[in-house]
Amino acid sequence: MDRGLRVYVLNLKRSPERLKRMTSRLNALGIPFKRLAAVDGRTTEFTERECDSRRYELAVGKKTTPTEIGCFVSHYNALVAFLSDTKAEFALVLEDDMNFSDDFAEVLDALVARKDWDMVKLNGRHRGGYVRSRRLNSRYELVKNLFHQSDCGAYIMNRKAARSYMKKLYPMFVPIDHEFVKFWKYGLRGFCVRPFPAHTEGSKSTIDYAALKAGRKPWYRKLPTAFYKSFIAVRRMIYVATGF
């Protein structure tokens, strides 16, 4: 299944059981992978290069947390690892709480064979609204989302996408799953697979969501956030309608 595809699993040092489960699942599918050490926000100090905290508060309406920044930086580091491998044409990046359909490897083969995309999400949390784009195989299709489709626990990209992301990804001012789907910003052909062939296993997230909720601003201080989200929603629909 190589075909220039590299598989990376993001895993915190403090989460060995997650790595053990992922190893078992990927081995059962015949998918070799490389573990990438995820950045632990609990033990890492970040600078303005990694995160623009003020801009984040305006765009998201709450304060960020070190664990969320760590997640963002971990995905950035996966891009670095991918592009450093000159023989790799595609990268599949997985967070360590993913589970997979039995035909997950077939989905990857179908994507690698057609190459008419730059980045494809393989999991998500919402319906997202969709516009059918093209048939992937007898069971799956590639779609564009009319609405935000959160989560980025499983996605595949080519070198063009990785290079484009690396140029503009820093500093963080929205969560990584919000930034990755701004396909118009990065000039990418971006899709989701429907139905999703990967999903979270349901274990507790390593991101401190309790702290994120505690950092929310009151509704009357979220006017900039409302403007930003409205702009992104309109821009997404234009992308779906026009391609870019």
For the segment 93-139, what is each residue's pLDDT rounded down to a tens digit? 999 999 999 999 999 999 999 889 999 999 998 777 888 888 999 99
CB 1 within 8 A of CB 31: yes
- Counting every residue written for the chain, the total comes to 244
User: How many Å apart are CA 59 and CA 154, to the nearest integer?
Assistant: 25
pLDDT, tens digit (0-9, with 9 covering 90-100), for 28-61: 999 999 999 999 999 999 999 999 999 999 999 9
User: How many Å apart are CA 71 and CA 157, to the nearest integer?
Assistant: 18
The average confidence (pLDDT) of the chain is: 92
- Mean pLDDT, to the nearest integer, of 193-219? 74
Q: Give 201's pLDDT tier (boundaries 50, 70, 90).
A: confident
Look at 63-67, 142-146, 204-208 and tell me which has the smallest mean pLDDT: 204-208
Tell me which residue has tokens 């992308």: 239
User: How many Å apart are CA 134 and CA 143, to the nearest integer?
Assistant: 7
The structure tokens listed for 235 are: 């821009």
Q: What phi, psi does 190 have (nearest 5°)? A: -115, 140
CB 225 within 8 A of CB 56: no
- Counted domains in the chain: 1
User: Any idea what the CATH number is for the domain that residue 183 is in?
Assistant: 3.90.550
The parent domain of residue 35 ranges over 5-242
Find all residues with CB under 8 Å of 243, minimum gap 6, and list them. Answer: 189
